[in-house]
Structure formats: C-alpha cells, structure tokens
Amino acid sequence: MYCNYFGFREKPFNITPNPRFLYLSKSHKEAIAHLLYGIKNHAGFIELTGEVGTGKTTILRTVLGELEEGLYRSALILNPCLSATELLRSINREFAIRHEGLENGELLDELSRFLFCENHAGKTVVLVIDEAQNLAPQVLEQIRLISNLETESDKLIQIILSGQPELAEMLAKPELRQLAQRITVRSHLKPLDFIECGSYIKHRILIAGGGGWISFSDSAVKKLFNYSKGSPRLMNIACDRALLTAFTEDSGVISANIAASAISEIKRPAGGIRSGRKVTLQLFIAALLIIATLIGAFMVKSSMNDVAEKHPAQPGNKVISR
C-alpha cells in the first residue's frame, strides 16, 4: 500500500528471511565468519544459537549462498520435529538420493555411499538443521551417528545445528556429552544495539530502493529499539507498521509519535480484545440490573393496585387507637 507512495521497489521490512536484506552487525559478521571457518576447515559439528528473531535463518541462507556450487553440496532442514528415521529420509530427499520405502539402516547406507562419492569428487557436504532445539534426544543421537561417517583423515559431512539458547542448554546435558564434545565451533547471535538499529533501518530502506525523503527520527528509533530490544524481526514488524501510519498521515518523517502509535497498534489486539470483553460484560450486567429493578418496581406497583381494588377506602371510616 505504501510502497508506491514512498518509492520502494518492495517492502523494506518484510519478516521473511532474505539474504539480500541482511544487515551485518558485529555479531552477524562474527557468526558468518565462524560458520564459514567451520565448514571450510571441516570442523564436523558447528553450533549457532540466538534468541527468537535475531536472524539465524537469514545467516544460514547467506552462508549457504556463499558456498561455491561446484565445491559444495548442501541441505537445509527447516522442520526438525521428526523421528530419527524421518529425519534421515528428509536428509536423503534433500540430497536427491534414495529415500522412499527405506528403513533406518538402508537410509544410512545410501547416505554413506553418497558422502564417499562426493568426497572422492572433492566436494564438501554440508547439512544444516534449523530450530534444532526441538530435536528429540534419540534424533540427536542419530545425528551423532551420521557424523561418524568419515575417512581416516577427514569428516565426510559438516553439520550445523542452529537454534534458540535452549539448544545449548540441551547439549549440556550429561546424556548428550558425546555429541557436545564433537562441536568444535560455536557462535551466539546477539540482538542489535541502539546504534545498529538506526543503521539497520537505513540499510533496509536503501536495499528496498526507498527515496531520500523518508526518514526515522532518533526519538522514533529509540522507541522502536526499546520495543524490539534489538530483535530484527520485531524491528521489521514495528517499522512496517510505522511506515503504514506515516502513509495514512501523509508524512515523510517517522516521528516518535508515529512510532509510538505503530507500537500501540501492534500491542492492541491481545489487550484490546480482553478490555473489550470486559466492557461488554460490565454493560451486560448493568443492563440486567436495570431490567431487574424495572421488573421489581412494576411488580410492587401491580401488587399495590390489587390491594386497592380488593379493599377500597370507605368515606368516614376512622381508625381508633386504644
């Protein structure tokens, strides 16, 4: 809606992971360097952790995109909520080798033959498993067995486990120490700081082809930073809403008020529904009380009329008290 108005070729703050929009903060640069080092030096196991929305998937796609096609074969598993056999089947499918109708042992044999062939051809095979904190212990054990596929001098497959901080906590458990000891390269992705958030916004606007007349004030960036805590995903959501608000107000500057309004709209659905239900309930109770009061008054009046009809007052009668 606002793209033509601001002169964007595409939405600058889309939450879909897109390596073209990757902003290289200090932490992101370090993560990419660690991953490429681990892959190119055949480290075997590599671990990448980070909070929700810090850009792990974008980092992974960027790293895989930098690998030379003729020297590497890679596979990215995005849904790790699988059994050990299902995971093996998914891995074989991604590498375009036999997988249908095969059981665990047969799948592992097919993968082993593939890895030896690729190694003989001088290619490095890379397996990336995203959201790895969701892996069951038996599945992690299956991954450890895959890592056992090696020659006398080299690892046949490089495995990147990427996930939320819970992944590191899970790998620290005693029962997984055999796998944890094999991880030789580790990297943790940190949120953006305040300065990086301002640069991040400008970077994405530039990539999207935005004109120079749209800008975010320092006070707006501060509000967006305080809301997002440096999470790129939350920054994208808030900035997208801020641009929409600026469009409706015909403004080329995202002010603190516009940023605050956008953040308020994002937060409104959950709170608004609850408060709306509360107000509706209060109005319903008030209406019931009014109806009950009216019914009560009507019944009292009707009762008094009945008494008056049965015992009409007689003129001249006096009440004598003794």
- Which tens digits make up the pLDDT trace of 94-147? 999 999 888 999 999 999 999 999 999 999 999 999 999 999 988 998 999 898
Q: For the chain, what is the domain count?
A: 2
User: Quick one: 229 and 86 in the same domain?
Assistant: no
- Which tens digits make up the pLDDT trace of 274-298? 444 555 566 666 666 677 676 766 6
CA distance 298 to 214: 66
User: Quick one: 206 and 251 in the same domain?
Assistant: yes
Is 268 within a domain? no
CA distance 162 to 60: 8
Is 53 within a domain? yes
CA distance 237 to 252: 19
User: Quick one: 127 and 109 in the same domain?
Assistant: yes
User: Quick one: 33 and 121 in the same domain?
Assistant: yes
The predicted pLDDT at position 188 comes to 97
CATH code of the domain containing 96? 3.40.50.300
User: Quick one: 173 and 202 in the same domain?
Assistant: no
Q: How confident is the model at residue 302 (pLDDT cuts 50, 70, 90)?
A: low
User: Quick one: 144 and 39 in the same domain?
Assistant: yes
- Which tens digits make up the pLDDT trace of 234-262? 999 999 999 999 999 999 999 999 999 99
Cβ atoms of 182 and 150 within 8 Å: the answer is no
The predicted pLDDT at position 319 comes to 39
pTM: 0.79
Write out the residue range of the structural domain in which residue 255 sits. 3-15+193-260
User: Quick one: 83 and 208 in the same domain?
Assistant: no
Is 65 within a domain? yes
Q: How confident is the model at residue 1 (pLDDT cuts 50, 70, 90)?
A: confident
Of 140, 169, 189, which closes a domain?
189
Is 84 within a domain? yes
User: Quick one: 175 and 135 in the same domain?
Assistant: yes
H or E stretch including 224? Answer: helix 218-228
CATH code of the domain containing 11? 1.10.8
Cβ atoms of 60 and 130 within 8 Å: the answer is yes
Burial of 22 (0-12, 13-18, 19+ CB in 10 A): buried
User: Quick one: 184 and 228 in the same domain?
Assistant: no
**Residue 210, pLDDT above cutoff 50:** yes
User: Quick one: 39 and 170 in the same domain?
Assistant: yes
**CA angle 258–261–262, rounded 5-degree value:** 85
| Tokens (6 digits) for 267 | 């937060």
Is 266 within a domain? no
Is 290 within a domain? no
| Tokens (6 digits) for 307 | 């008494």
Of 221, 239, 260, which closes a domain?
260
Of 260, 287, 304, which closes a domain?
260
User: Quick one: 185 and 197 in the same domain?
Assistant: no
Q: Over the chain, what is the mean pLDDT?
A: 87
User: Quick one: 203 and 177 in the same domain?
Assistant: no
The predicted pLDDT at position 4 comes to 86
The predicted pLDDT at position 306 comes to 58
